[in-house]
Amino acid sequence: MAKQRLFRITLSISQDVTSNLNNGRIPKRLKDEYEKRGYTLSNDEHISIRMKKENKAWELYDETKGYHHRIEYKNLGAKLSVYGIQKTKSQKNKYEKESDMEKQYLVTVKRHVEDISRNLNDGNIPNYLKNRLEKKGYELPEDEDISLLISPNKWELFDLINEQKFEIRKERGKLIVDKVEISRRPQEKKKEADKLNYCIQCGYEVDDDAIYCEKCGHKRGEKKKEVDKLNYCTQCGYEVDDNAIYCEKCGHKRGEKKKEDVREEHERKKDYQPPQIQRKESSDGLGQKGLVIGIVAIIIIGILVVIALNVRSGKEVKVIYEGSWSGAIVDSDGSRSISGSGTETFSVDGTVSANAQKMDGSSQEITIQIIENGNVVEEQSTTSAYGIVSVTG
């Protein structure tokens, strides 16, 4: 490798100048001296400096301008000499080959490599790296929406919002960033196990590695049990302990009817007027016939009262989504799992809590509503991938 001196700079060399060169940064004073001599350097991200001998010699590479200079410090007279290096044919081929290889990568980082590596090991994404990716058209979200898998000299970055994956690795003093395709399972092969993230007994969300539901104690993987309705308050639908006598939320006594049902039954009984049975003193046969008619009428009215007491309030839960979803409903009748594809409506009674989750990563909106007598009283929507919506009312 032949070298030819381009110019010599006489500076009062300080520790700041040499330490900057040792750490791969070009001091502003040196950059200004370059410009005075007609050598305008590119932006810092296109310049790399390699230390050949600490505090003594360095090599400068400017990718855009094509400069390859050797900078040497002479103690005598505190002078920096800048040499132009002429590569042999084999060295040029090697340099061009390395440049072609770097073009195959998404991003190649030559500066601040150690600082960026330390940040990545601490679980942080440096702004410098984010900016380099943005210039390539890949805008990253906030750090809380990024997952980082750390291994020696290699990191895997997952963009949870845009569903992107990047691989960052350290090679020959540089950081190389590549985009990696995320392998997806076919939709039809998606397991029913996705629903196991929710307890099939009560609909409560559970961890992947949990054996029992922390809310109701149901063992994951077992079939849904018939729920004893007394585990839920018949007045407000709140879950109560098996040995509780009163609901801790509304104070209603377990085993009694809902106050609205008792009040309605009382009003019906108060307004009820039994039919007057008229008997003719002159005929026993007609008197017995009137008695039979009166008994039949009482039975019919009693049946109508029972039917009226059991008529539901006209309350519904409606899930609106074009794709597949699953969730759970808890009302005065107990809890049950729900699922479907497209819009579905479910009849409920009393106070109700319901939720639904998208089974895919699309950005389409999923909406859940509580409808009472034809009017929407509660509603929630989301467009997030695998988003969850819930309502209570």
How confident is the model over 315-359, as pLDDT tens digits? 999 999 999 989 999 998 888 989 999 999 999 988 989 999 998
Q: Which H, E and C letters describe the chain, residue by residue?
A: CEEEEEEEEECCCCHHHHHHHHCCCCCHHHHHHHHHCCCCCCCHHHEEEEEEECCCEEEEEECCCCEEEEEEEECCCCEEEEEEEECCHHHHHHHHHHHHHHHCCCEEECCCHHHHHHHHHCCCCCHHHHHHHHHCCCCCCCHHHEEEEEECCEEEEEECCCCEEEEEEEECCEEEEEEECCCCCCHHHCCHHHHHHECCCCCCECCCCCCECCCCCCECCCCCCCCCHHHECCCCCCECCCCCCECCCCCCECCCCCHHHHHHHHHHHHHCCCCCCCCCCCCHHHHHHHHHHHHHHHHHHHHHHHHHHHCCCCEEEEEECCCEEEEEEEECCEEEEEEEECCEEEEECCCCEEEEEECCCCCCCEEEEEEECCEEEEEEEECCCCCEEEEEC
In this prediction, residue 389 has a pLDDT band, given cuts at 50, 70 and 90, of very high
Question: If you average pLDDT over residues 211-230, what whole number do you get?
Answer: 69
Per-residue pLDDT at 276:
57
Per-residue pLDDT at 268:
66
Q: Of 306 and 40, which is predicted with more confidence?
A: 40
In this prediction, residue 186 has a pLDDT band, given cuts at 50, 70 and 90, of very low
Question: If you average pLDDT over residues 277-302, what whole number do you get?
Answer: 70
The answer to whether the beta carbons of residues 350 and 369 sit under 8 Å apart is: no
The pair of three-digit structure tokens given for residue 202, joined into one six-digit string: 């009560």
pLDDT higher than 80, residue 133: yes
Least confident of 130-139, 188-197, 202-211, 257-266: 188-197
Q: Of 294 and 228, which is predicted with more confidence?
A: 294
Q: Which strands, in side-by-side order, build the sheet including 164-171?
A: 107-109, 174-180, 164-171, 154-159, 146-151
The pair of three-digit structure tokens given for residue 14, joined into one six-digit string: 């300080």
Arithmetic mean of pLDDT over the chain: 77
User: pLDDT above 70 covers what percent of the chain?
Assistant: 75
CA–CA separation, 127 vs 109, rounded Å?
A: 13
Question: If you average pLDDT over residues 143-169, what whole number do you get?
Answer: 85
Per-residue pLDDT at 381:
94
Least confident of 201-210, 281-290, 380-389: 281-290
Per-residue pLDDT at 193:
39
User: pLDDT above 90 covers what percent of the chain?
Assistant: 12
Question: If you average pLDDT over residues 162-179, what whole number do you get?
Answer: 86
CA distances from 95 to 53, 60, 68, 107, 221 (A): 21, 14, 11, 18, 60
pLDDT higher than 90, residue 367: yes
Question: If you average pLDDT over residues 226-251, what whole number do you get?
Answer: 71
Rg, the chain, Cα only = 39
pLDDT higher than 80, residue 279: no
Q: Indicate the residue type of 185.
A: R
In this prediction, residue 308 has a pLDDT band, given cuts at 50, 70 and 90, of low
In this prediction, residue 61 has a pLDDT band, given cuts at 50, 70 and 90, of confident
Per-residue pLDDT at 354:
92
pLDDT higher than 70, residue 94: no
pLDDT higher than 70, residue 10: no
The pair of three-digit structure tokens given for residue 323, joined into one six-digit string: 């794709």
In this prediction, residue 6 has a pLDDT band, given cuts at 50, 70 and 90, of confident
Question: If you average pLDDT over residues 288-309, what whole number do you get?
Answer: 78
Per-residue pLDDT at 253:
80
CA distances from 218 to 126, 227, 328, 391 (A): 45, 11, 15, 23
Per-residue pLDDT at 345:
93
